[in-house]
Every structure is written in structure tokens, then in C-alpha cells.
A and B are shown apart, each in its own frame.
Chain A
Amino acid sequence: MKRTTWVTVFVMLALAILPPVFLWTGNAFYVDLATRLVILAIAAVSLNLILGFGGMVSFGHAAYIGIGAYAVGIPVYYETYGGIDALASYGGAFHILLAVGVSALFALLTGVICLRTKGVYFIMITMAFGQMIYYLFISMEEFGGDDGLVIDIRSELPLVSLDNPLQLYAIAYIALVIAMLMVRTIVNSRFGMVLQGARGNDERLVTLGYNTYLYRLTAYVISGAMCGFAGALLGNFTTFISPDMMGWSRSGELMFMVILGGSATTLGPVLGSAVFILMEEVLSSITIYWHLPFGLMLMGIVLFVRGGLMGLIKGKGDK
């Protein structure tokens, strides 16, 4: 097996074993940390599909996290306090369906326009659409506007209870593994080959008779839906949502996770989110000015480390 495969197996095993061990040794805090890590890793994996493999630099991906989280918060709010009955529910299946559905729809509507553009235009337009959703939720006073919305009750699922930290973690972990396998399958399929071919040379693929626009749009929608699911999990984890979760700096952080770990790799986004969350945790416990070393680190990585952590692991000869 290649070195990257070993590392992937090792990291995923560690993520499976460590949190239960933390819980049994009385370090519940680390389970929380790991849950956040794994949920954000799902979002990063979804972003990697379009950013890494598809070459679409989306700067508005946090919007889907927000949509997913509000897809849990709003039905719970309506069920608890009354309002639009059609949207009122505590049911997890309904929440997830809503999160994935609305995210996919938003990705489709914005993707149709965004994907007509290229390069910097694409970066800025995705960013602007992300901000649009951000301001939309800020303006909705009913759901707390700027202050956010407390989710009183977690999604109700059969067999498991999301109120149990370990069960919530297990669900998130399984979702992450499925997401990674899904992206891997997509990328290795004929569809994925066209997607990656279009990243390298769009004209060639168009000349070969592929409608690359449709391929990109499909990938864009899949990625959005997947990230919406991560958002629904995050809503259940934090039991509080605010527009702050979907601002453009959050999108930037997601991009950073992908690049830090190594874009267009299976493990990269997971590794990136792990390092990101741990650095954030360590630095913010040392100083309130932790953004300063964090920003310097970010700049250093962009300037000097090409290919991210997976690039370092892979080494020069092993390709």
C-alpha cells in the first residue's frame, strides 16, 4: 500500500477510537472537539469535490452549513412555538431532507449563474451569494436575526439519540466516512474523470463533446447538498445557530482546511480540518489575539507549502 493510504487508515482509525476513550477517561470536552472536527471535515470534504477535483473555487460554502443548520432550527422552532405547520417537525428525517433539499436547490439556482463565469468572477460571485444568504438570515427577526436561534430540541432519529454525545459523534463519524467514500467513488467514475479533465483543460473536453457546464453544475449541486447535511449535523451539535456560522470568513476557513490538508486528495480535507480545529483550540487558549499567529501561519502555508499536508506526507518520489 502507498504511504498516503496508510496515513488515511491511521487517521480514520484514530478518529474512531480516540473519542470513546476520551469519554471513558472523563474528558468529555475532547469528544465535543472531535465532533466539531468531524462535522467540519464533512463540509471540507464536500468543498474539496468542487474546489480540489473540479477546480471551482467556491468562496460561499459556509452558506450551505447555515442553510442546513436552519433547516433543523426552523422546523423545531415552528413545532415548539407554532407558525407555518407544513414546516413544523422534530423529525430528523424531515430535517435532513429539508437541509439537503434546500441546499441542493440553492446550489442549483446560484450554480446556474455562477458557473457561467470563470476565475476571479466565480470566486467573488460565490462569495456574494453566500453573503446574500447571510444577510437574509440577519434580516429575519422571527428567527433571532443577528442574535441567532436556539434549537430547543435535537432532531429525533430512530434507534439513536443525538442528545448522547457519543451517539452524535458516531453518526457524524459514519457520515464523514460515507462522504469520503462518496467523493472517492464520484472522482474515480467516468463523471469524475470528465470533471477533472475539465479542470485541467476545459476546451479539450468541450471539443471531445462533453457539456462540461452540466458536469460542473451537477458536482456543484452534490457538493452543496453534502455540505447542507453537515450543516444539519452542526445545528444538532451546537443546538444554536446564528448567521455568524455562514459569513464569508467561515467560507474562507473551509477553503483553508481543504488547502491546508491538500486539495484533490481523499484524506486532505479531514487532515486539514483536524489541524485547523486543534490549532484554533490551542492558540485561542493561550491568547485572545490568537488570530495573529493563526493568520501568519495561514500566510506562511500559502506562501511556502505547496500541496498541503498530504503533499508533505506523499513526499517527492511516491506519486
Chain B
Amino acid sequence: MDYTLLFIQTLNGVQLGLLLFLVASGLTLVFGILDFVNLAHGSIYMVGAFICASLTFITGNFLIAVLISLPIIGLVGYLIERLVARTLYSRNHLDHVLGTFGLILVLDTSVHLIWGPAGFAVPLPEWLDGRVELFEGVVVPTFRLLIIGVGLAVAAGLYWLVNFTKLGMLIRAGASNRTMVSALGIDISTLFALVFALGAMLAGLAGMLISPITEASISMGGEIIITAFVVIIVGGIGSMKGAFVAAIVIGLIDTLGRSFLDDLFKLFMSPQAAETSAPAVSAMLIYIIMAVILAFRPQGLFPPRVR
């Protein structure tokens, strides 16, 4: 087996996992605290990528663009919460799903109107565009390492935020008993808006980070949201730890499955059968894993304590 390839693909898997975590953490945060299913989370991820792409062209620097885009996408999240999500909190999940499905159509078409139907390639600054030799024979793009670094930093930051700050305390309290928190005089409405904006910033950041690799495109939101759902289902909806573990696992399985499943299949079936079945199985792999996990643990791997 080619160990260099294995190492590089593992690194790619971790990078995908961390991106998934950025999207899934916002989703699980919003669901855990607000009990709100936000289908449009993927569209926020996509809008983040487009805003960042435009700002990269205006400012000429990707990193500055990211820093300016973050508060903007937070504001977008805040507005969505005020205008749409807020009214839906008291409704059932079906209404959440349909309402945010409508929101997806609105956001996607607005992006189409503003930026046009084609995707946007986002140029990187020169020092990020290169490759680094980690050790003998293993060369990886610098930018992928940056994504991994940022992903880990955000994960650590969220861990600190949720477990060691006043806001985090309120978030945890709000997740386990909302009525009690508001009865204790906490402005739950502002807390909700803040959480929603934070979730939007996390998703937006993921979109910005991936755009230099894949380019910003309208369809990118719909592609990631389902995988992010798989992540939070497997991890246990509402659990930050679950989202992190599941995101890394799903990212690794998906990436490694796509590149090595045919080799694996060739061990016990004819090369031709392996060539035809491997793509089909690897396309379904994460869903099969999800089904297996749910068959044994219907609440996911780390279900949050019952409220």
C-alpha cells in the first residue's frame, strides 16, 4: 500500500472533518439551545463564501476579506433570526423545515441575482498558495494545513466558550431548561439571537475556508448540509462533543472510502467487480455507517442529557 498517499488522504479527511465540524457545530448549537431545525444553514455557508470572494477581490487579500466577512455573516444570521426563525420557534419541526426550505430558495436566488450563476474562484495570497514538505516525500498544500489549524483552534475556542465562560454557562443552561433560564431573569431573546449569529459565523467561516479550494458556488450549500446533518445525527443532536467526534470520523471515512475502497474490495472480489461496486458503495458509505450506528444507538453516539 502507498503510505504517502494514505497519509495525505488522512490529512484531507481530517481537513474535511474539521470543515464539517464548523458547519455542524453551528447547526447543533442552534438546535441544542433553540430546538430549531435550520435547513438554511448550508445556504449561510454558501453566502459566507460569496461575501468573502467579493471582498477578496476588493481588498486584494484573502485573510483581510475573511476578517471583514465574519461580522457581516454574523449580521446576516442575526437578521435571519429576527425576521424568520424567531416566529418559528414556537411551531413544530415540520414548520421549521418548510420555513427554512423557503429561506434556502430565497437566499440561493438572491446570490444568483447578485453574483450570477457561475462560481467564483478565490485567489490565495502567495505565501498560502504554496506547498510544504512535512517530511521526506510528503508534500501538502500550505492552505490545507491552515484549514486544519483554524478548525482545531475554533474547536478549542468553542470548548472554552461553552464550558468556561458566562455566555457558555447560559448556553448550557438554556439547552437543558429554557423556561428556567428565562425565569431567572436572563434575556433569552438576546441570547437566542447571539447563538444564531454565532452559528452563522461558524458556517460562514467554513464556506470562506473552502472557497479557495473548490470556488464559491451556489450549489455548495445543498451539498454540505446533508453531510452536516449526518454528522449531528451520528454525534447526537445538540452535543458539541458528539459533533466534533462524528465530524472527524465522517470526514475520514468519506475521504478514505473514496480513495481506498476499490483497493480494499480487490482483496476479496475480482478487480472488475471491485471497480464497479466501489464508487457506488463509497458514495453511500457515510449513510450506511449512520444507519448502523442508529440501529444500535437511535439517539446518536453522545446524546445530550434529557431536558
By a beta-carbon cutoff of 8 Å, the part of chain A in contact with chain B is 51, 57, 59, 110, 113, 116-117, 119-121, 123-125, 127-129, 131-132, 135-136, 138-141, 247-249, 252, 255-256, 259, 289, 291-292, 294-299, 302-303
Partner of A255, one of B31, B98, B237, B290: B98
Contacts of A119 in B (CB 8 A): 93
Q: What's the Cα separation between A117 and B290 when bound, in Å?
A: 13
Given that A113-B291, A116-B294, A249-B222 are known contacts, is A303 also in contact with B229, CB under 8 Å in the complex? no
A128-B290, A259-B94 given. 7 additional CB < 8 A pairs? Answer: A121-B237, A124-B232, A128-B226, A139-B279, A247-B222, A255-B94, A303-B84
Q: Which of A119, A129, A132, A256 has its CB near the most chain B CB atoms (within 10 A)? A: A132
Q: Does B87 sit at the interface, judged by CB under 8 A?
A: yes
Q: Which of B102, B104, B290 has its CB near the most chain A CB atoms (within 10 A)? A: B102
Would you list 20 pairs from A and B whose C-beta atoms are within 8 A, ordered by A residue?
Answer: A51-B94, A116-B295, A117-B294, A117-B299, A120-B37, A120-B237, A121-B233, A125-B290, A128-B290, A135-B283, A136-B283, A139-B282, A248-B222, A249-B104, A255-B97, A289-B113, A291-B109, A292-B113, A302-B98, A303-B99
Contact A116 B102 (CB under 8 A): no
Q: How far is the CB of A178 from chain B (nearest CB, A)?
A: 27
Contacts of B110 in A (CB 8 A): 292
Contact A252 B98 (CB under 8 A): yes
Contacts of A295 in B (CB 8 A): 102-106, 109
Given that A125-B294, A140-B280, A295-B104 are known contacts, is A131 also in contact with B98, CB under 8 Å in the complex? no
Closest to A109 in B: B291
Given that A299-B103, A303-B99 are known contacts, is A57 also in contact with B93, CB under 8 Å in the complex? yes
Contact B230 A128 (CB under 8 A): yes
Contacts of B98 in A (CB 8 A): 252, 255-256, 259, 298, 302
Contacts of A296 in B (CB 8 A): 102, 106
Given that A119-B93, A255-B97 are known contacts, is A299 also in contact with B102, CB under 8 Å in the complex? yes
What 4 A-B pairs have minimum CB-CB distances, sorted nearest first?
A: A295-B105, A298-B102, A132-B287, A299-B102
Contact B97 A57 (CB under 8 A): yes
Q: What's the Cα separation between A255 and B100 when bound, in Å?
A: 13
Given that A113-B294, A135-B283 are known contacts, is A124 also in contact with B109, CB under 8 Å in the complex? no
Closest to B36 in A: A120
Contact A139 B280 (CB under 8 A): yes
Contact B106 A252 (CB under 8 A): no
Closest to A300 in B: B102
Q: How far is the CB of A256 from chain B (nearest CB, A)?
A: 6
Contact B226 A131 (CB under 8 A): yes
Residues 112-153 of chain B, each 1 if its beta carbon lies under 8 Å from chain A, else 0:
110000000000000000000000000000000000000000
Q: What's the Cα separation between A247 and B87 when bound, in Å?
A: 28
Contact B233 A125 (CB under 8 A): yes
Contacts of A51 in B (CB 8 A): 94
Closest to A290 in B: B109
Contacts of B279 in A (CB 8 A): 139, 141
Partner of B106, one of A136, A141, A255, A292: A292
Q: How far is the CB of B79 from chain A (nearest CB, A)?
A: 14
Contacts of B233 in A (CB 8 A): 121, 124-125, 128
Q: How far is the CB of A44 from chain B (nearest CB, A)?
A: 14
Partner of A299, one of B31, B99, B299, B300: B99
Q: What's the Cα separation between A252 and B222 when bound, in Å?
A: 12
Contacts of A291 in B (CB 8 A): 105-106, 108-109, 112
Contact A57 B94 (CB under 8 A): yes
Q: Which of A139, A256, A259, A296 has its CB near the most chain B CB atoms (within 10 A)? A: A139
Q: How far is the CB of B259 from chain A (nearest CB, A)?
A: 15
Contacts of B101 in A (CB 8 A): 249, 252, 255-256, 298
Q: Does B284 sit at the interface, judged by CB under 8 A?
A: yes
Q: Does B95 sit at the interface, judged by CB under 8 A?
A: yes
Given that A116-B294, A124-B229, A289-B112 are known contacts, is A139 also in contact with B105, CB under 8 Å in the complex? no
Q: What's the Cα separation between A127 and B290 when bound, in Å?
A: 12
Q: Give B227-251 interface residues, CB cut-off 8 Å to A.
A: 229-230, 232-233, 237
Q: How far is the CB of B257 from chain A (nearest CB, A)?
A: 12
Q: Does B60 sit at the interface, judged by CB under 8 A?
A: no
Closest to A138 in B: B283
Partner of B226, one of A110, A127, A259: A127
